[in-house]
Structure 1
Amino acid sequence: MSKDPLDSHMLLMVAQQPFSRSYDTFCKLIPIAFLDDPHAPIDSADFPNDGEVWWMLTDRTAALAEPGRLVTAVLENAIKYEKENPDASEFQVKRDSVREPKEDEAMTIVPLTADALKQFADVIRPDFRVRLTYPPSSTVFVHWRDSFYGPLRMSASPSTSPARVPGRDYVLRPKSDADPFVYCFRGDEWAHLATSSIRAISETVSHTDTPRRKQASISSNRQQILIGRSLERLLSRNPEILALETLDRKLVKFAKKVLAPRSKRQQFQALLEELRILGTTQDEAIELAESVRTKESAIGEELAAMKLLAESLLESGAFGEKRLKEAEESLVQRHVETRSAELSARIQAQTAESQNALGQLQQRLGTEEAQQRDVIRKRHEELDRTFKEHLANEKQKLDNRENELRRQEAVLKGNLAQVATELREAGDGVVNRFLTIAPLLQAIGIGSPQHGRINSSSQAAGVFDGAPDSSPIYEPPAAARSALRSATGLAEDEFVTRFITLAKGNGLHYHEGDLRRFHLSVKCGDITVLAGPSGTGKSTLPILYSRALMGEEVSDVHDCLMVNVSPSWHDARDLLGHLNLLERRFTPSESGLYQRLIVAAEEYRVSRETAGVHLICLDEMNIAQVEHYFGDIMLTLSRVDGQRVLRCFSPEAVGTTCPFRNWATVPLAPTLRFVGTVNFDETTRLLSDRFYDRANVIEITPRGVPSDDGEPTMTTASGPPVTLRDISDWTRQSPLESDVATIIDAIRPILEGIGLPISPRTYTGMHRFIRSAGNVMTQRKALDCQVAQRLLPRIRNVSTRSEIEVLQSLQDLLRASGDGRFPESELVLARKRREADYERLDFEEEV
């Protein structure tokens, strides 16, 4: 079974020169091997169409875009993939993951002819060049005669070959100039890697920006590469170590040891001259002078002989290869023994130092964590104390103000009662007293001519006496910010069994096939529609499915949101909410959908793949025109990730008093699933082809008579909740069976004959549904569901012989395919035939 290329770390080859498109630079890559599984074969079916991978170049990686060069990268799905386009590629590389292969990932094996060198050490001579027709990796192995040498550094060099000779010159250097050594592997030591780690590749590349299949002048790139961590296994066999020193360098080093430096010879000659002078000026030193002259003559003859010997050796190379080889092996052996002990000691010292540093860092980290916890605790206590003091002060102020208002109210009531009594008794005297307390009454709003009115300046500013300048930001429930905890993934067949058991225990008897179709539709698509007569349990089914998703962790946050659609709905404001321009506030609708979208977005932002699934049911959704109130959400759902952002209102249109001012745009989380229930009668609207293109329509028919046990007997399900990770694991697509693909290809021209072609979105949705059937149902059964749910509902108002013949052709095709068992599709076709009322049709073709 082939490996899934998605998110795989791969070795690839540059297929052509870069080309520009829409102000960006692109290139194509050829898959060579899976670096995370080198033994996995490359299946051409995993890279359909041109068999290549897209690469969008950056300034950092543009230098690597040389035809034939090896690179490594991680694969992801292409942003746009058209299966019918032969130049389209299903995958692309992540731009920041492209780089040159490391030594433990891939190395080129460079072959040399037997007569290219006299000895392998000459490979690092300054005048030695290797001519290659392809760019090698920066670290290589060299195959010379019956042995393999490496690793060596290889880099491009100014060309010394004639211009008509194809290829490019490269030079070889040891990995380290300080330690110019390489490993030497004999043929028998190398042979065991041939079948496991050595990969022989032969690919054609284009040296222009034209694709390979469209370019007439292409070159063949044949080379061998060492894949994976093969060098580690080779080094475990204790290979021979070879010092890379040429003969001229060995002679220079030998001469440097043997011949005395010029400065020392000059010093010695000056000393002899001084002795000669001393000897000639004193008669008693005659014998000494004679001895000095004799020694001087002997040293001069010795120096001349040594100089002549050195020159002869340098010119003739008469040191002898055998002696040099023995000396070289002895030197290498001493070097290895000395350095191995030194390196072992150095490694142990560094390990001890690193462990000591790690222990100090861990101790420091623990200390800092304790200090931070103490600071946080003290800060929390301080804030809590400050809050309590502030709360107590505010409460005391409010109590004092309330008491004062009550006292004033009592005083005023007493005064008013007294004034009324005296008014009846005293007349003018009471009037005068009333005028005395009038200013007090006006100040507190009693008897004032402005009573019941708000100051215009305060109203214009939106600020009232004692009112806050802003409102708190809306916060989703705390449950939306905590991930659903599921220790292990839930198998899909276990969940389907849970769902079916829950449905059977709730009064209505559903067909098990309908329940499986509903699960597959919700799993694979954003929108699912349940059709059927009233009272068949269409509205209950999403609630049961939501309870099955939650398992034992039942919460209001993940319960199914039921939205009752109204015939008066005309646009998205009826479903989400409206903007009050006078108050500069956004008011969500009573459906609660706007708040649920925020909850789902926040949960996905915090929890990612452990977030729960949110089910939203639009009950009687076609009682109003679906495209009018649901069109914005429907279009946003069809966009790619990162662009599924729903714009609810302009952020500049609301003020600081709007609690939803931070949620002008709401990202639609991948955990959202919409379910709609529809009836088809005189009170409903027809669904458009644009809606059918994005939804699965399932007709629900009850089996038998509902039980009369009253309330459902099971409201919760056992087991862990279903998370987004489970949904993603369940939608891993298996290859499409050949007979199923043949039936789909046969259906397409039949529908195109009546102007109902299968759009790319519908085609992709059908493939996703069928290939994700898994253990829920067979692919043939899934195809039957898709034909009944996605294709046949689009055939409406059959009124001509050609349309009836299309129905008959589809029925004949399904009956003749394999075992001919397509019960769901045949039921829909039979109903379409009955609706056509064949006996009263005018059989003349439409003009």
Structure 2
Amino acid sequence: MLDGRALIDAGATIVLCVDEYPFPAKNNHFCVMYPLMTLDGKRLDPTPQSFPNRSRTWWMVRDDHVENIEPGSIWVAQLQEAKGWAPTDPKSDQYEVRWDTVRPDHNVIEIMDFESAEPDLSFVYEERALNWSRSPANRVFLRGQDSVVGPFRSEWDSQARQVRLSIRSGASQALRIPRPLFDELAPSHTFMHTVNTYDKSRRNENHEITLVARSELDMGLLRQHATEVDCRTDQDIVRTAVRQASFSRSERSEMKSLLNKLEKANLQDDISERLRRINMNVISASDRAEQISAQLGEAPEFKELIQAHIDATTADRVRDEVARRETTIQEELASLDATRGKVKRDIESLRKQYETKLQQQERDIKQAQEKQKHSLDERQKTLELREQEVVQKESEFIDRLERMTNEYRNQASRIGDEVLLQFPIIERLLQGRSASSAPADDDALVPDWAVKPQTRKRSRSKISERDFIDQLAEVSRERGFIFDREDLVNYHVSLKSSAMTVLTGGPGTGKSSLPRLYAEAMSSREQFLQVPVRPDWLDDRDLLGAYNPLSRRFEPSSSGVVDRLVTAGMDYENGRDGLYMLAFDEMNLARVEHYFSQFLSILDNPPSQRSVTLFPAGITSSSDPYSAHRELIVSPNVRFVGTVNLDETTHFFTPKVLDRVQIVRLRSPDVSQVQDGTDAVDIAGLEPVSYGTWESWIKPVPANSAARGLLVRLDGVLRKEGIPLNGRKFQQILRYIACADGFLSEYTALDMQVRQRVLPGLERNSSTFDATVQELEAILPSDKLPRSHALLRRIADSHAEYGYFQYL
């Protein structure tokens, strides 16, 4: 609830109702006012707590306002603390209106209610006064039970207690709106107020006041749903009809014959109907006048007076008429000659005006036709666009429904599989056996890595790094894929410099296939694992697995990640060869920071500190092969790769994820170079790449480089934006530049890293965004860093809050 103090602090202007007539005191006039609402339509409903002490305010009235003030009238003003307020005086009020802000009620519109279905407009047509209990607002709507008509101006006669209604100057039409629609489009507030509450010399009067704030009333919207009502007065209607029927002067003098002729004239329907009603009123009044005249004429005294008056009037009129006609004839004879010449000149002038107006009218008609045609064309385009939007939304809805249906089916299947897995345990319990007793086929639960160690020892390959890139491109072509060589180099260098790389790009760019092709080019297909991410993954148990308390065993997830990481660790520890690549397909179908949380926390740790916890210590049985891997090591020979798609079913990466990954955008292939790929299991002639060789391609970060200075300048700008380059990201960028040596120039490598590692953190919703963009553009010139500069411009020119991937 708004109180007086809050309204004063906000400098708000409010609507008030006068509670009593002004009374003199100390050479001034005062009155009490009742607060109703704010100008933006908020009810106040004052109480002794919000407006101490009487739920009222004082008004020290200016002399020029005294005559216009009476109980129930509406005013607007601002409040201030009353100087003489006494909290213990029950007749004292804490707030008063500022006398210099008081003005009439031009910011509100009042609703005048009628009990009839339609408001009675005869008061407007006949310019009659309407009896009313109080002074209404200056602008009113008339509301019947079925419809509402307005707006009208109101003029209050305080002596007669009547109000006169009229249409605004220069207008002839009012709006008629169905009442339910008006009540919906024009939110109103009804106040039940008793005036003269504190004036014991006058009786109390109860008033019902219904107001609409002008700020809440959209007249343009009302006109769209309203019909127009002719609200001209009867006098205006008669004048219009006379002009349309072309009456002579003698015909205008006879009102009854005039109206009869007007009824027979071919006039507009609404004017004819009004004229019939006016004619009936005139005939009725004329008949009553004739009856009164006939009765007076029968009185002897009146007959003598009439005869004497007729004689005197006749003589005077005869003399006046003779003199007038003599003068008129002389004047007319003198002016006829002058008039003849003037008529000729007027005819010539009118002819020229007619020709000019005709030409202008033709031009206006042509312009109007062109404008109308343009408007129709625009409407047609708008309709076509809306139809396309409807079709698109319908298609999207169907796709979403199908995806949700498939998801529910998959979840049902998963739940069923989980229930089936518990059947052996339940069966053993029913047969009286311990739930933790080992099944007869315990050997079947032993993973392959526990009984089949790898045999290939770590070695060095003869292939060079540049030849390997050529071999990767050749494998891709053999399998039917075409990648830009710069994209292959970017992906290769990202794998060397970062533990996690994310691939993005449009459909058909080969995001999901490139990790598999890379493993094939290294002859490490056995070490490659494709992990399809499910949208129902909630935490790392869906990715890794969970401890089963009934069997006292760790049960790995069907994703295969745990077994692959155990194998990778054993190979690395025992000097066996192989680069293990785990590819998460559509990894943003679920929230990465949830199911991949443990890995995000350790990826940048030293190799000896990179481990994830599978289960608490001391809870597994001695026969569980995973008991030795409670802290699962992520060895240096492991690389994580993810692919992302962007639609309404996926999740954007959080800053925590963006801060830790390399983001590589794959360009769309040149379709003219795409060929069918081979289905052969193996491609002949490939040179295997050992992990030792691959590891030797990782180069140390140089102590000094030109990139360091530019990164320091970037950090200075980004710190003001609240997204500084932390030490981890700084070192990863320098490591990427070092590993790109021999393939990319230092500035090209830096350009890619600013695009992949720095700009993902930039957000448009920052208050300093525009200033930051200007500073970054100065540091990232388009001639040296074209990729970063172009992406920065796309982010800056966009007016929507997109995620980083949608700018790529």
> Which TM-score bucket, shorter chain as reference?
0.3 to 0.5
TM-score between both structures, scaled by the size of structure 2? 0.43
* Larger-gyration structure (1/2): 2
Q: Compute the TM-score of the two structures, normalised by the length of structure 1.
A: 0.41
